[in-house]
Structure 1
Amino acid sequence: MDSIGELAVFVEVVRSGSFVGASRELGVTPSGVSRKINRFEDRLGVRLFNRTTRSISLTEAGEVLFEQSEQILDSIKAAEDIAMDLSGKPRGQLRVAASAALSVGVIMPFLKTFSEKFGDIVTTTVQADGSIDIMSDRVDVALAFERPSESSFIIRKMIDDPWIVCAAPDYLKRFGKPETPDDLKNHRCLTINAGDRTTDRWEFDIDDKTESFAVESAHSGIGLALREAALQGVGIVRLAHFLVCQDVLDGRLVPLLSQYAPACERAIYAVYADRKYLPSKVRVFVDELQEHMSETMIQPFPRGMVPEV
């Protein structure tokens, strides 16, 4: 009788919202998930889900079981983490949640070195461009641009992440270099489109006051796409430091209007559960990632390392 296995499948179905979603997470077929749930219900003698052709929902018995099950499975996972740490080196599965931009710009360049050093840690990246529920989504560490209001988390500031206004050398050769924020009105600017909001006003410090300047948007989109457009010489872009730092250091992009940059109010944070026992796999991942970021995300850009145009 695999009570824990059945319980884990049940919880995954609830979290995923469907048998198909649970099957993807568990690596089994939807019919296999359905059979597990049917056997579980038969053994308990109660129906756990209301099923229709399009959706499922928890019965009263299912709601009670789910509330208790999450705590049980979390306790089992914590016990497994403690047991694995007794082997003397960090190991096990590590789920990291981050936006697509952070995954591409920060985590992927870091993983090669990390996996070579800690080969017994198997890392899975979970895309989270919106809010992330660390407990429900079974995430060990989340990277975020804002400090969560939830007080039960450990929140560690990894590095400042200011906005950088920049453009490709090719664009600047063709259209010239803006000398003041007001000059941007004569340039093609690339603006981030965040849902129904386009960031077509950029902030700069003028005489110790922060002022916003309207920019003419030649193209809007997500950060990763705008970075590529800027590299192709489409226009001037304002992006997070982590996305363009290496491009600037390699000469592919040139920082602009740095003397008008406002005080940095942005940062990247690591967020993880406040546990009595922190698994070593979480600790070494966060420690190593912060060291990697401090070495690669150079702030401010040193004189002589940035090309002149």
Structure 2
Amino acid sequence: MHPISEMSVFTEVVQSGSFVEAGRRLGLTSSGVSKKISRFEDRLGVRLFNRTTRSLSLTEAGTALFERCEDILAAIEDAEGTAKDLSSVPKGMLRIAASDALSLQVLVPFLDGFSKDYPDVSVLLLQGDGGINLLNERVDVALLFERPAETSFIARKLIDDPWVICASPEYLERYGTPTTSSDLLDHHCLTIHAKGQTSDQWTFDDGNEVQSVRVNSTFSGIGLTVKAAALQNMGIARLAHFLVSSEIATGRLKPVLADQIKVDDRAIYAVYPNRQHLPFKTRVFVDALSQYINENMIAP
């Protein structure tokens, strides 16, 4: 096997955490991956993994090799990308990560036109409100609501996306409209549950002080289901602007306490690896998506 191919298999095993998952990603059997790793170890004369029936971990030599392999493979990918870009035709697979709500309300409508303009670019959409590991999933572009902590990623702001507290007109007519944040304690509130946590702590700023209110959460779920519950008159929800802007514009949902919501630096970001050479397909996608969002989404 060519040394670069061996590095690719080795790196995939480390990033995925198992021979089985690495094999799935590479189109190989787990035994096939194991044989390739064994041949790689024999050629190098070192053991790269500590293997047990239940765990897989890197040896000291494996750790040192992995750090170099990532740089080498990234350099090769960049070099190939430079050559491909000379054709001025974006092509290849784009791995995009986004929440369910962003996928359905933004990406799918956008991709309808993008795919017609760039037929040689195919898209693999990785959805997950619970979070996606950008490195392990080899994501080309992720749409996130905050800048990543990792310095190895670049975050480009596409549009501001503040929180909106809202309810249906029918609910407000039945239970009354809150005028202060403390009034929420007497209401049914609909909260987002993601990454194992329920967002029932809502922050307000009335101009005099910032205070946090733990609301009475009567229903929790991902953003799309919370929005559906609000439209069914089930309570007051705190949702992203992009998710409810159309319903507010048509009157199906009504914002409340708008002048008291704490202003955070919350936005939709396109996040991608910080590489010296950004693949042409990625650059074209981000540029086109930015233009689409600013032309089609209602600004906050």
TM tier, shorter chain? 0.7 to 0.9
- 1:226 paired with 2:187, answer no
Give the aligned residue type for 2:84.
Answer: M
Letter of the aligned partner of 1:295 in structure 2?
E
What is the deviation of 1:19?
A: 0.9
Aligned: 1:18 with 2:18: yes
**Kept in 2: contact 1:185–1:215 (CA 8 A):** yes
- Residues matched between the structures, number: 299
Give the Cα separation in 1 of the matches to 2:296 and 2:180.
Answer: 29
What whole-Å deviation, never above 9, does each CA across 1:177-216 have from its counterpart, x for those lacking one?
Answer: 4444444333211123456754334334424654444432
Identity %: 57
1:147-169: CA deviation from partner (whole Å, max 9, x where unpaired): 23444543321111111111234
TM-score normalised by structure 1 residue count:
0.83
The residue that corresponds to 1:97 in the other structure is 97
- Computed over aligned residues only, the root mean square deviation of the Cα atoms, in angstroms, reads 2.8
Distance 2:196 2:24 in 1: 31
Q: Which amino acid aligns with 1:36?
A: K
Indicate conservation of the 8 Å contact 1:191/1:200, yes or no: yes
TM-score by length of 2: 0.85
- 5+ residue gaps, structure 2, are none
Tell me how far apart the structure 2 counterparts of residues 176 and 182 of structure 1 sit (CA, whole Å): 14
1:238-277 mapped onto 2 (5 Å cutoff):
238-277=238-277
1:305 aligns to what? none
Q: Which amino acid aligns with 1:82?
A: T
Matched with 2:121 is 121
Corresponding residue number in structure 1 for 2:34: 34
**SS of residue paired to 1:237:** strand
Name the CA shift for 1:197/1:275 in 2 (closer, same or farther; >3 Å).
closer
Identify the residue that residue 146 of structure 1 maps to in structure 2.
Answer: 146
Would the alpha carbon gap of residues 63 and 297 (structure 1) be closer, same or farther in structure 2, given more than 3 Å must change? same
Secondary structure at 1:155's aligned position in 2? strand
Q: Which moved more, 1:169-178 or 1:107-116?
A: 169-178
Corresponding letter in the other structure for 2:220:
S
Q: Summarize the Cα distance change of 1:242–1:272 in structure 2 as closer, same or farther, 3 Å threshold.
A: same
> What is the DSSP-based 3-state SS (H/G/I as helix, E as strand, rest coil) of the residue aligned with 1:224?
helix
Task: Please say if residues 241 and 297 of structure 1, whose CA atoms lie closer than 8 Å, have aligned partners that are also in contact.
Answer: no
Q: Is the 8 A contact 1:84 1:92 kept in 2?
A: no
**2:229 counterpart letter in structure 1:** A
- Report the Cα offset of residue 264 of structure 1: 4.5
Tell me the alpha carbon deviations over residues 7-54 of structure 1, each in whole angstroms, 9 at most, x when there is no partner: 211110111110111122223332332233233334444432222111
SS of the aligned residue for 2:166 comes to strand
Cα 1:183/1:21, change in 2 over 3 Å: same
TM-aligned CA deviation for residue 280 of structure 1:
1.8
> Match of 1:161?
161
Structure 1, unpaired ranges of 5+: 301-309
| Matches for 1:67-82 after TM superposition, within 5 Å | 67-82=67-82
Partner of 1:187: 187
Does the CA-based 8 Å contact 2:97-2:132 persist in structure 1? no
Shift of the 29–231 alpha-carbon distance from structure 1 to 2, 3 Å rule, reads farther
Quote how far apart the aligned CAs of 1:63 are: 2.4
Could you give the per-residue CA deviations for residues 76-122 of structure 1, whole angstroms, max 9, x where no partner exists? 11112112111121112222233444434433332222222222122
